[in-house]
Structure 1
Amino acid sequence: MPPLGGTTGLSGWGVGRFRTAWKPPGAAEVPVTLGGVPAAATWRRTPQPQCAPGAFALLRSPQPTKSSRRGPARAVNHHEYCASVLTLKTESDAELAVAAAQAGAAVVRTMYGDSLPRFEKTSGDFATAADLAAEKAICDILRTARPDDAVTGEEGGHQGAGDAARRWLVDPLCGTLNYAAHTTLVAVNVALRVGTDITAAASADPFAEEVFWTDGERACLRRGGVDEELTPSPDSRLVDVNLDPPFPNASSFRAVRLLADPDFVQGFRPRVVSTTLAVAWVAAGRRAAYITDGHLRDSVHFSTGIALCRAAGCTVTGIHGQPLHTGAGGLIVAADRQTHAALLDMIGSQAPSDR
């Protein structure tokens, strides 16, 4: 990709590795603050040949040296970042979901390992400064590109009309407890609900620098700028179970009981990673299944993973095999029908009369 033309207007460096102020002649700039840090990134409409008409571009560079953080700005070799220019075609909700998830992931990755303030939510649950910063980065991008859409964020709650036909569901850091314990098993989830359907979604792994995404019809993994179709597979026999509350069906189902079920132990190998990244892994063939309790309609945590699994062709139902978001709720996503049927039998044995 050729270097961008124009004049240099560097104003400093912000959170992550986003170049802050590249100014092609005549370009209209729309500033975006990542994580509350001014001038951390700039979305802009640009007539450059590598960008589609009407596109937004988010420009990134390697982390600057200390000498470039203060004092007079200096020009940089634009070849450093041209290979990582992210072009966002504004007509594509899926590309917007990917871009927003990537922006949140950059914040999460940059703040990893720091001693971060915590904000208690409930007993045993909290948000960190990284959760808040990543959500702000994501929401800034969504509001810039889709100002009329509503947004629901895990930390910021509902924004926009309550009855909005288009609503973005944002989980800026799924796996906060992992992250706070300096464990890199986390995801950044962004999904768009139009009416009752999730029509676009992306789940970013900040540390593997992978993005699982769907436009509602196909499901792909984007890595190094290249997309590959997601293909579910039961071959690993790994089943992730969610052991975190809430447990609305505790009297008839607890995922933890599966760990003591001889049939489960014989047929599968349990895993507990405590992040919905594992739901995307089912779509990608890295897990045979995922199981959780809970009522998940419009869940900022699960909507993205569910959409990925559906688009990839997984079997997706409620905890007792009923249609999703009905009856007892819960979730079983499995790579194939055979795996799903086997797990359904084991779950049913906990309380057959409840089915």
Structure 2
Amino acid sequence: MINSSASTNDVAVAIAGARAGADVVRTMYGRRLNRIDKGAGDFATAADVEAEKAILGVIRAARPDDAVLGEEGGQQGATDAERQWLVDPLCGTLNYAVGSMLVAVNVALREGAAAVADPFSGEVFFTDGETAWRRRDGTDDVSLAPTSATRLVDVNLDPPFPSAPGFRAVDLLAHPGFAENFRPRVVSTTLALAWVAAGKRAAYVTDGGDLSWSVHFAAGIALCRAAGCVVTGIDGAPVGGSGRGLVAAADEETHGLLMSMVRDRT
């Protein structure tokens, strides 16, 4: 499956970290959890905090010299460390807080291994940066195979809207060509990117700035790239640097259709 010994070890750390976080998220699901206000309508819960602690425990034990950027704890470790892990312990906190199971746990090594765990299905989607796989306890690993056959496109409708008024993701749904070719879904979590890589979604679209090293998106982007998806910003530029937002599509045709609609709206 994955040949490099170093890559294999990093993948194992990513998977173990994502699973440790997922165990916490699953265990705390359904409890009354206090919200930790972050401002602008954003918040965390005790599950976010405890899941991140569990993930950090795995990374620190296996890679004590690596730095970590966590959504809740911020930057930890040496600022000049050669390697950095990006951790989103609970992507989809709003879903989780209202009892929805559409959430994910993300662990990614910059320019390396990454894993996205679904706490409730038991699935872990992972990559060494070159190939992408799905693991479920009791079954063999399956390579991810993106396809647009579902015609389902997840669109992130959450604020902020940095490209407005020129472009807002919600405007994409009003494009006549969208209804002719696709059906909208709204997940607003990295789980959607894992589903694009796995063939459960045709594409995912979100506005934003440079998302390449975002704790929310890095693992999902790594999965999609390794699976062979077409990944760009909403302006068609490569993700990172000058790229804005994200369009991750199963194939060139789907990506081209969506980009033509985005250009119509801008």
Q: TM-score, normalised by structure 2?
A: 0.95
Deviation at 1:297, TM superposition (A): 3.0
What is the deviation of 1:248? 1.4
Q: Which runs of 4+ in 1 moved over 6 A?
A: none
1:340 aligns with 2:255: yes
Greater strand proportion: 1
2:7–2:128 Cα contact (<8 Å) kept: no
Q: Deviations over 1:288-314 (max 9, x none)?
A: 000011121310000000000000000
The 8 Å contact of residues 188 and 204 in structure 1, kept in 2 or not, is answered as: yes
Pairing 1:171-190 to 2, within 5 Å after superposition: 171-190=88-107
* Contact 1:127/1:176 (8 A) holds in 2: yes
Counterpart in 2 of 1:202? 115
* Aligned with residue 220 of structure 1, among 116, 123, 133: 133
1:302 is aligned to 217
After the TM superposition, which residues 113-132 of structure 1 pair with which residues of structure 2 at under 5 Å, given as runs? 113-132=30-49
Identify which of structures 1 and 2 has the higher relative contact order when contacts are C-alpha pairs closer than 8 Å and 6+ apart.
Answer: 2
Partner of 2:187: 273
Instruction: Flag the 1:299–1:90 CA change in 2: closer, same or farther, 3 A.
Output: closer
Q: Which runs of 5+ in 1 are unaligned?
A: 1-88
| Residue among 262, 266, 272 paired with 2:176 | 262
SS class of match (2:134) = strand
Computing the radius of gyration over CA atoms, which structure comes out larger, 1 or 2?
Answer: 1
Displacement, 1:323? 1.2
Letter of the 1:325 counterpart: G
- C-alpha contact 2:92 2:104 (8 A) present in aligned 1: yes
1:134–1:173 contact (8 Å) kept in structure 2:
yes
SS for the counterpart of 2:113 is: strand
Summarize the alignment of residues 148-187 of structure 1 with structure 2, pairs less than 5 Å apart: 148-187=65-104
Do the aligned residues in 2 keep the contact of 1:249 with 1:328 (CA within 8 Å)?
Answer: no
Distance 2:174 2:160 in 1: 20
Identical positions, percent: 65
CA contact 2:232–2:243 (8 Å) conserved in 1? no
**Counterpart amino acid of residue 169 in structure 1:** L
